Structure 1
Amino acid sequence: MKIASIAYRGLNVTPKTNWGFLEVRTEDDRTGLGECTLGNQEPLVAAEVDRLAANLVGQDARDRNRIARFLPHAPGGLVAATTLSALDQALSDLAAQRNGEPIFRLLGGGFRDSVRLYANINRGANPRTPEGFAAAARRALTDGFAGIKLAPFEPLMWEDGATPDNRAAYAEGLDRIAAVREAIGPDIDLMVDAHWRFSPGSAAALIRDVARENLFWLECPVAEANHREIARLRGLCNARGMRLAGAESLSGLAAYRPLVEAGCYDVLMPDAKHAGGLQEILRIAALAQTAGVEIAPHNPTGPVCHAHSVHLCAAIPNFLVLEVQYGETEAFFDIVQGESLRFDRGAARLPQSPGLGISLAPGDTPAWKRMDRPWLDPRLG
């Protein structure tokens, strides 16, 4: 099963969103698919895909342990890790196709027949007022989701100081959270993503202020490298009945080991696009399991990462819940063909077809375009 080509395909699916995919074609006319979406880094990812192709065309696609091996000391940063992760996804798709089985079987089989999802409503909230977030949450509730997440605090950034704009952003963020909690009632899991916008001191105040909303978890309040303070904040969260979650943009087992050893998080969130491959996430999950830490993969982008994540989550014993971007665009369902990715009352059914179970559909979806006003705060990447 020799590799005939490796190509990047970037698609523009909303005025503020591009998705990126990696396709590996083999000489026996199979195609394996991975996702390498990395906001506002499309030219760099495309160049890294070309670099991989120059080195790997002609290699045996069955040798994924060697040709998609994650090395933590290699240069290239998150761009290289994201491209390599997509390569591993695509090679796993090919291997499972060749075996005539779905990917979750390739990973050792499933612990569950369906995967519980929660709705990230952040991009589906319009307008971005408390009422707009509440309306998005009610839509997700109607579709059967039992967990809702929002990222309510932009444009706050603690390094900018205690400015009037920061204070106003914090107050509005709290109002957004309260509006969503009121809209969904007391029994639905509510998650809040802070996107590293807080200092340890201001994060402690945040934990105090959101405790009244009975959060299921608080996510990424401070920079990932601050292990001692993250562990302290975890204690503050646990004392108020909520989990602390994070580590969505790290790559490789070696990056996760210090977090587990330091007791930083109740929930780790490795992303199939960034963490170094499906097998690498299984290793991360196994390490986390030894410390009683749960796994809830980060998954707020396109349908290919989602499909891979569903297979992956089925095979993780300490899996908690899987994120899905809710309400952003119907392209999530329309740009792929094969098994349906439609959500089933807040859950995803396991694909049963050989391989990933989906492929990119032919069509006229525009190619990726530069985002002059990117969705992500440019200070956060």
Structure 2
Amino acid sequence: MTKIASIEPILARVGIRNQLLVKVTTESGIVGWGESGLSAREESVAATIRHFSEFLIGQDSRNISRIWQETYRSQYFEGGRVLTAAMSAIDIALYDILGKRLEVPVYQLLGGKQRDVIPTFGCCTGNSIEELVDNVRTLVKDGWTSVRINSSGFETGQIFDPRTAMVIAAEELKQIRKEFGPQLCLGIDLHHRLSVAETASFCNMMPSGTVDYIEEPIRDESPEAYASLRTLTQIPFAIGEEFSSKWQAAPFLERGLTQYMRVDICNIGGFTEAMKLAGWSEAHYVDMMPHNPLGPVCTAATVHFSAAVPNFSWLETRQSSVEQLGFHDPEIFPKQVQMDGAVYIVPDGPGLGVEVNEEIIRKQTPLHVEPPHLRRPDGSVTNW
């Protein structure tokens, strides 16, 4: 009775974004939940999940690693974010099922707990330096010792002027560091909108010690570009939320091009691939700093992963008092991982520890979402 009976993608609007969940059910009636991380392209992932279900239904749900290999290797064109986002959701759901079957939390399936609570970094932005600093002040008051900002200079509508954005962001970071001192771990998400030269100039705008890391300054297609950038600044990099395999991450680890690994368990290939990447990162003294921008299923999976790996720094959270995003609606998710101040409490129940109110979530009509198509002042297209 361990065979997979059904695999169903469920796309719904939760809070201010869509969530693509996957419901996997065994012949004995055990339900496992997974989540995909490829935001704004969910329909393509849902189609892939339906395709995978054609050969996964009837297979033993316990053969998680083998299923990962078959979904990865059963087509000529290997990998890619659409495929691995679908694989991630299925893999997470299968771990949820196995934990429920054995009546143990998922982290026990990964080797047990390394820690009892999961430290997080709080995220915030603001429409002005004053508002941003005030939001950081709130996070610090609420117990956060690690904060990542999204600069108001990078939130400029459809037109993105790199120089203007860099100047604003540098002033914001200097002001935050001045008020909160060296004790606060301070990072910034550049959302891969800059070039190598622009990033180097941005880093030079700030005194040494202003910022503890910069996240995703440029796109990840070229490790050589990151190698060049690495020679131009001493500020640590946090890279990896775009990675869809250990192979994609490999040159960044082998060549020392990132100091924090921003793995996304809902994109990399679920627990199966994330644990391999964690081991590879540990060998290079790189700590995991997981990407966690989605809902309770993603959060729960990432908390279990974060509990099990030895090399860990902070987990991203979008549940602080300065972000009212609605991703973790308690009516839709009556049971979910809980926070205590700035940390997640590692759940001890079977599986992931998440329940979904299907009656409600199936009524949440998804919206068609198209990310901003940013242009520079001269009219040319640039990265969002």
Fold shared by both chains (TM-score > 0.5): yes
> Post-superposition shift, 1:131?
2.8
Alignment correspondent of 2:341 = 345
SS for the counterpart of 2:341 is coil
Query: What is the alpha-carbon distance in structure 2 between the residues aligned to residue 212 and residue 14 of structure 1?
Result: 39
Which runs of no fewer than 5 residues in structure 1 stay unpaired?
none
Query: What is the alpha-carbon distance in structure 1 between the residues aligned to residue 87 and residue 35 of structure 2?
Result: 10
Structure 1, 362-371 or 19-28: larger mean CA deviation: 362-371
Query: Residue 87 in 1 paired to residue 87 in 2?
Result: no
1:143/1:363 Cα in 2 relative to 1: closer, same or farther (>3 Å)?
farther
> Post-superposition shift, 1:249?
1.0
What is the TM-score normalised by the length of structure 2? 0.87
Conserved? CA contact 1:10–1:21, under 8 Å: yes
Conserved? CA contact 2:318–2:325, under 8 Å: no
Query: What is the alpha-carbon distance in structure 2 between the residues aligned to residue 197 and residue 215 of structure 1?
Result: 18
1:167/1:254 Cα in 2 relative to 1: closer, same or farther (>3 Å)?
closer
How many residues end up aligned between the 2 structures? Answer: 367
1:87/1:362 Cα in 2 relative to 1: closer, same or farther (>3 Å)?
closer
Alignment correspondent of 1:34 = 34
> Post-superposition shift, 1:211?
4.0
Query: What is the alpha-carbon distance in structure 2 between the residues aligned to residue 133 and residue 9 of structure 1?
Result: 36
What is the TM-score normalised by the length of structure 1? 0.88
Decide which of 309, 314, 318 is 1:321's aligned counterpart: 314
Query: What is the alpha-carbon distance in structure 1 between the residues aligned to residue 85 and residue 346 of structure 2?
Result: 24
1:164/1:282 Cα in 2 relative to 1: closer, same or farther (>3 Å)?
closer
1:284/1:38 Cα in 2 relative to 1: closer, same or farther (>3 Å)?
same
Alignment correspondent of 1:368 = 366
Alignment correspondent of 1:143 = 142
Query: What is the alpha-carbon distance in structure 2 between the residues aligned to residue 76 and residue 291 of structure 1?
Result: 24
1:331/1:275 Cα in 2 relative to 1: closer, same or farther (>3 Å)?
closer
What letter is aligned with 1:208? N
Query: What is the alpha-carbon distance in structure 1 between the residues aligned to residue 189 and residue 383 of structure 2?
Result: 14
> Post-superposition shift, 1:76?
6.2
Query: Residue 109 in 1 paired to residue 108 in 2?
Result: no
Structure 1, 19-28 or 129-138: larger mean CA deviation: 129-138
Deviations 1:2-44 (A, max 9, x none): 11111111221234x1111111011111111111132211211
1:324/1:286 Cα in 2 relative to 1: closer, same or farther (>3 Å)?
same
> Post-superposition shift, 1:171?
2.5
Query: What is the alpha-carbon distance in structure 2 between the residues aligned to residue 164 and residue 106 of structure 1?
Result: 45
Query: What is the alpha-carbon distance in structure 1 between the residues aligned to residue 8 and residue 216 of structure 2?
Result: 33
Identity of aligned residues (%): 28
Deviations 1:317-353 (A, max 9, x none): 11111111241324415131335x3321211111100
Query: Residue 187 in 1 paired to residue 180 in 2?
Result: no
What letter is aligned with 1:31? V
Deviations 1:198-223 (A, max 9, x none): 11111111111244562121111122
Q: What's the RMSD between the two structures over aligned residues?
A: 2.6
Alignment correspondent of 1:5 = 6
Alignment correspondent of 2:378 = none
> Post-superposition shift, 1:291?
1.6
Equivalences for 1:1-381 in 2 at 5 Å? 1-15=2-16, 17-69=17-69, 71=72, 74-75=77-78, 77-121=80-124, 125=125, 128-152=127-151, 153-154=153-154, 165-181=161-177, 184-211=180-207, 214-238=210-234, 242-326=235-319, 327-334=323-330, 335-339=332-336, 341-362=337-358, 364-365=360-361, 366-371=364-369, 374=371, 380=383
Query: What is the alpha-carbon distance in structure 2 between the residues aligned to residue 53 and residue 379 of structure 1?
Result: 37
Query: What is the alpha-carbon distance in structure 2 between the residues aligned to residue 24 and residue 257 of structure 1?
Result: 31
Query: What is the alpha-carbon distance in structure 1 between the residues aligned to residue 117 and residue 354 of structure 2?
Result: 17
> Post-superposition shift, 1:195?
1.3
Conserved? CA contact 1:18–1:37, under 8 Å: no
What letter is aligned with 1:226? S
1:361/1:80 Cα in 2 relative to 1: closer, same or farther (>3 Å)?
same
1:109/1:199 Cα in 2 relative to 1: closer, same or farther (>3 Å)?
same
1:26/1:379 Cα in 2 relative to 1: closer, same or farther (>3 Å)?
farther
Deviations 1:52-84 (A, max 9, x none): 222211211111112122638744621111010
